[in-house]
Amino acid sequence: MDPRNLRIKGERLKNSLEEMAKIGGTPGGGVQRLALSDEDRRARDLFLSWLREIDLEIMIDEMGNIFGKRAGKNNNLPPVLSGSHIDSQPKGGRFDGILGVMGALEGLRVIHENRIETPRPVMIVDWTNEEGTRFSPAMLSSGVWTGKLERDWAYGRMDIQGKKFGEELERIGYRGKQPAKRWPIHAYYELHIEQGPILEKKGKIIGIPKGINGLYWYDVYVEGKANQVGPTPMEGRSDALCAAAEMILKVNKLPAKMGENMVATVGEIHNFPNSRNIIPGQVHFTVDIRSWDDDLAIRAWKDVEKDFERIAKKRGCPLRIDKTWSVPHVTFAEKLVKRAAEIAKNLGYSRHPMVSGAGHDASYVSQIAPTAMIFVPSIDGRSHVEVEDTKWEDCEAGGNVLLHCLLQSASEE
């Protein structure tokens, strides 16, 4: 068969996504498959069984990244790689991450059953802990694999219960032997839901991002003075939660203040001891700033940091701030971006050029290998929530674009 006529099986892709959605499925129709949880382990076990069915050579590295390799005619040539992540947000959706893994698997199934011989090897990957919700930061294991983050630092990252990444990786049995060290990659493609409203609004099926916004993460610890709420006068209190509340609103107003070319969010907050009749003694909250314009994001942080210091002083609540993580914006490989758009056009799918507002493993991978992404619409622009949804036919369209991106890149001698 002429490989140009190959198409993925939309029904099989749907079934794979539905099978995966059962693992960690929530009553609200989403999934909760936090990195290195038992649900992550079960989903990995199922993923591995599917890789074995199509005779892929399996490699698991010391960060738990899972690779499956299909040999090419010339295995000395760097492979084409594609995948995404199996982990999810708490009460997250059925498509974020897993679509890119199941899409690449479907592509490989089609290549396998049609006995297509590609000059280059084709590989699939599940990157560990993309979400950064249980263990911050996000994209932790593609970060280590690409050499941008330290393995031992990653092993020491702790969840809210004090469990370490390295120990949990061991516990679920996915601490592999292969060094988590990059090797030459000819091209990397990641299929993903858009996670925003643009494609739906424009009525387009395939989004072609030119790159990913810069991401800046901070952890803020506000120290107050805990005390009995009843007898303690309002005058002279050091209420850590009130200080944090003022700071949080400053973060929310930051994009408008800086001219809108950015977003800024406080999504996580921990109040201690969290009792209705104790004045809050300590608050920990996170700040997430994103922009294509990295200078703007950094200036925005400096600006809001000054506000934080002023509020802390006024309320008698000293501050500690950790600059947890940052990844500057990345621009994808022009050739691969054009290729994805061209393939979408030839397959008859409408297209829209855009920028990714969400972070992806493609961000780190693009720093070491030619990279592109393929987006499909998110219904109502909703994601990281249980109602996250994408039409099955759009998943299929994205899978077809991915398949042909893989085939074309794998044919380059």
Beta bridge partners of 38: none
Contact 54, 109 (CB under 8 A): yes
Beta bridge partners of 178: 61
Residue 60 has φ and ψ, to the nearest 5°, of -120, 125
Closest to ligand GLV by CB, 39 vs 131, is: 131
Which part of the chain contacts Mn ion (CB under 5 A), choosing from 61-69, 96-104, 170-178, 280-288?
A: 96-104
Which part of the chain contacts Mn ion (CB under 5 A), choosing from 97-105, 113-121, 214-222, 336-344?
A: 97-105
Is the bond leading into 273 cis (omega within 30 degrees of zero)? yes
Give which of Mn ion, ligand GLV, none residue 106 binds (C-beta under 5 to 8 Å, depending on kind): none
Asked if residue 97 binds Mn ion (CB under 5 A), the reply is yes
Q: How far is the CB of 352 from ligand GLV (least distance, A)?
A: 19
Q: How far apart are CA 93 and CA 21, in angstroms?
A: 9
Give which of Mn ion, ligand GLV, none residue 138 binds (C-beta under 5 to 8 Å, depending on kind): ligand GLV
Closest to ligand GLV by CB, 383 vs 408, is: 383
3-state secondary structure of 47: helix
Number of residues that bind Mn ion (CB under 5 A): 2
Q: How far apart are CA 410 and CA 165, in angstroms?
A: 35
Q: How far is the CB of 96 from ligand GLV (least distance, A)?
A: 7
* Residues near ligand GLV (CB under 6 A): 131, 138, 358-359
Burial 252-270 (b: 16+ CB within 10 A, else e): eebbeebeeebebebeeee
Closest to Mn ion by CB, 96 vs 168, is: 96
Contact 398, 377 (CB under 8 A): no
Give which of ligand GLV, Mn ion, none residue 359 binds (C-beta under 5 to 8 Å, depending on kind): ligand GLV
Compute, in degrees rounded to 10, the torsion defined by CA atoms 176, 177, 181, 187: -60
Closest to ligand GLV by CB, 131 vs 305, is: 131
Q: How far apart are CA 66 and CA 152, in angstroms?
A: 19
β-strand 282-291 against 269-272: which pairing, if any?
A: antiparallel
β-strand 282-291 against 371-376: which pairing, if any?
A: unpaired
**∠ CA 332-336-341, rounded to 5°:** 105
Asked if residue 190 binds Mn ion (CB under 5 A), the reply is no
Q: How far apart are CA 80 and CA 72, in angstroms?
A: 10
58 contact partners, CB below 8 Å, separation of at least 6: 48, 51, 52, 66, 67, 68, 69
Q: How far is the CB of 331 from ligand GLV (least distance, A)?
A: 18
Torsion over CA: 19, 402, 330, 214 (sign): negative
Q: How far is the CB of 220 from ligand GLV (least distance, A)?
A: 18
Q: How far is the CB of 138 from ligand GLV (least distance, A)?
A: 5
Closest to ligand GLV by CB, 138 vs 287, is: 138
Q: How far is the CB of 290 from ligand GLV (least distance, A)?
A: 8
Asked if residue 96 binds Mn ion (CB under 5 A), the reply is yes
Closest to ligand GLV by CB, 85 vs 186, is: 85
Closest to ligand GLV by CB, 160 vs 412, is: 160
Q: Which of 111, 134, 115 is nearest to 124 (CA)?
A: 111
Q: How far is the CB of 294 from ligand GLV (least distance, A)?
A: 16
3-state secondary structure of 320: strand
Q: How far is the CB of 51 from ligand GLV (least distance, A)?
A: 24
Q: How far is the CB of 364 from ligand GLV (least distance, A)?
A: 12
Closest to ligand GLV by CB, 271 vs 363, is: 363
Site residues for Mn ion, 228-267, by CB under 5 A, read none
Closest to ligand GLV by CB, 54 vs 269, is: 269
Asked if residue 396 binds Mn ion (CB under 5 A), the reply is no
Per CB under 5 A, residues contacting Mn ion are: 96-97
